Chain A
């Protein structure tokens, strides 16, 4: 659903990953599943954008990965937030709320612009 090239939406994936990991360490598949269920399957995260995003975030120092065991006893790489990641989550959530509110306000307004009157 998200086009990788879109800067805005790439930021959105990162925000969603940060939010997911704020609940605790999780592997890539778990992150994708949670986002899908949390958005009632509205947002479907493609592997093609999820994994590069995860590796980029590791590089930026927002999250870190560590190999562990999954519920069904398979080796899986678990990601968790770093201190910097937590800070990013707080900041980006605020930014997103402002953006969403602005977009909502614009989209839901009933007042026509001057040129339409």
Chain B
């Protein structure tokens, strides 16, 4: 240490005031003695004279001590708990001096902050969505709330048109509705896209300029105006290969042609996640509460607040309620921030529970880091005692240790936040693919300021736990320890609470990999379920089939016309597909095997049946509506009874086909044919209803078991099948058995459908064996997260256990040295050293086994397999080995040192 830093050191760690005053007065007296000797007095006389001249120093001493003490107090108040640059420099030095702790603690804290920041960012975007548009927070949505029905009334064309002339607080008023259309570009097979039928005012409202061409104009909205479309960046890239001359090209949207007039820049998807925009043409004379459902939006006028707009709307609403009570009596117009109106309500309790989880994770992780820091602080005990003796207050020492933890936490936070971006991007992409139509455009993969602040808060919390708690423990009773160590006694010890912590730590550490095993097994189970379709699912290509509900002029089609159109188009499509030499078969159902099926509760006729599952007030079955020849087409003929016929449908016969599991689970293996059942509860009902008015269905056949959806806790579920026409099953799943690779058939599939009827849309074309891929990906993510948590937990726990064990043993260096010097046998000494840690590990492993057992019974899957048990035993052995090593290394060192040295050591 150079002179300068020594001086700084002194400033931080000043000695005790009384000692300082005494030293100063002693020096004064000594100088006087020397002075008198120099003047010729003999030493004894000089001392006597000097003492006489000093007189009573007690008064001076106490006065000066008081003054110095109060000065010190003032200084401490001024900079006592203030972090100085020196603290941080020391903190950084500690990082490189203890690389093990830095790496283990750093990784753990970085992980905690990564999870914390990611969770916070997602929640923040969900609860406080912000439109990434200029002044996006001033874009609002207006909705009509029906107080008598307790829901929004979205048929508000009439009100929208009347508001347009009235509202002062909201400008750029516009409306939109979402439709789906096949976008057909020459040379390409048509694919459905999400379109916004939207007012021209949307574009000036968003203040976003087109990349190419123009946006929609009011003229486009006039009846008879040429059909135009503005396309989004992604559509331009994917469907038009970024053609720079795209403006002016004519495309087909469903049944009707339209001219591309503009391209919007990347990222623009206003109002929600739309791919293209067409003019919204409204009937100027629409009656109140009639016409299509729309959402109204606008921008708060300069100077107007949300409250102003709400007040104005309330007045407007009251006027309408008075003038047209029949339609408007119960309607209350509401204005909200735009994104809030689109997003489902997220409740505060949600946010709280997520935050709680994150804080718990951080506390847990940092608690472990605290253990490491404590062990490290303990190894620096003499340094701390000396500093204290030199006058450093307890507060100063705690501050110093806090600064060290803060430095570690800050480094970890930087790492955690760097990883956060990648994690968030991935989460958003996954969510985007899981949500139909995609994630709203305001979800962004970037870090927001609140998240940064939140992470800073987490870092502070972590540093407080990891730094201050061990520091308080280490500095407790420093004064008495100074005397003890001066007298050659004890030092710090880990008490009973630490034993409890170590035992709990070992137990939890053992339970974590077991959890990973359980999750992995569940995942493996899901994956086998996908392969257990009961027929070659990988040869079938599926898609959801939908038909436009509007005619080429945009006017809605009547239900009767729609049904006729659907029947006609479907028959044509089926014929065309069956005629294709690449196709081996075509069928349809509202749900295909391997997809999710809704559940029903049924009751049976008075015949014999299997005992009821006590969890449900009836037999729980899943149900599907299928084409009459469904099972034959899949190549899975009935085991008993007969197939549906078209006559069954036409005559309105209440007949059903059950699966093998139904026979086993509901009928206990008895004959099924001719038995009757009726529904007591539909999943869609929400609450139970009376089953008395429900019809009875007769079982006419038994089918083999086909696969269920991957994501279910009930894979062995009984299933019933109804016969269905395409119209009664609409919107239905179409399944095409392909002779070659199903994926490569997707293009032809689309082309055939479009050539039959351009308004026929095929959504989510997927090979049947891949329909659960999204769920599996989600599960895989969950598995990886558990694995990562386990990994971090293991690393941290092993390090903490090692540190604590090594520390406790090294505390006994002196004892071991003395016993060895007194001729104690090495074996007995070692046995006594190991006794306590072995008891702790044993207790921990026992508790861990109990925990694993509890987990196993809580999570479906029960006990561990032989291989998994072996892995856990291996892991427990590894943990024991780490502990043994932690005890052995310091014990060996203690045994080999000289007894005289043993007396001199700290411990």
Contacts and interface: CB of A to CB of B under 8 A. Distances in A.
Given A51-B60, A52-B67, A55-B68, A74 B24 contact: no
B71 A58 contact: yes
A51 B24 contact: yes
B756 interface: no
Nearest to A52: B63
A28 interface: yes
B746 interface: no
A86 interface: no
B24 A77 contact: yes
A56 B38 CA distance: 32
A77 B34 CA distance: 17
Contacts of B74: 59
Interface stretch (B25-33, B675-683, B770-778): B25-33
B323 to A, nearest CB: 79
Interface string A32-60: 11000000000000111001100110110
B27 A77 contact: yes
A55 B774 CA distance: 77
Contact of A75 (B7, B27, B35, B68): B27
A55 B61 CA distance: 11
A71 B197 CA distance: 95
A22 B20 CA distance: 24
Contacts of B10: 66-67
Contacts of B68: 55, 58
B359 interface: no
A33 B74 CA distance: 31
A115 B879 CA distance: 106
A48 B60 contact: yes
A48 B55 contact: yes
Interface in B1-50: 7, 10, 20-21, 23-25, 27-28, 30-32, 34-35
Contacts of B35: 33
Given A47-B25, A74-B27, A77-B27, A29 B32 contact: yes
Q: Please indicate which of the listed interface residues A27, A51, A66, A72 has the most CB atoms of chain B within 10 Å of its own CB.
A: A51
Nearest to A44: B53
A56 B10 CA distance: 21
A21 B215 CA distance: 83
B33 to A, nearest CB: 11
B70 interface: yes
Contacts of B7: 66
Given A47-B57, A55-B71, A59-B70, A74 B30 contact: yes
Contacts of A77: 20, 23-24, 27
B584 interface: no
A56 to B, nearest CB: 6
A29 B70 contact: no
Contacts of B59: 48
A100 B539 CA distance: 116
Interface in A93-117: none
Given A52-B63, A55-B71, 6 more contacts: A29-B31, A48-B59, A51-B25, A55-B68, A59-B70, A75-B27
Interface of B: 7, 10, 20-21, 23-25, 27-28, 30-32, 34-35, 54-55, 57, 59-60, 63-64, 67-68, 70-71, 74
Interface of A: 27-29, 32-33, 46-48, 51-52, 55-56, 58-59, 66-67, 70, 72, 74-77
The 9 closest A-B pairs by CB, nearest first: A55-B67, A29-B31, A29-B28, A59-B71, A77-B24, A52-B63, A55-B64, A76-B27, A51-B64
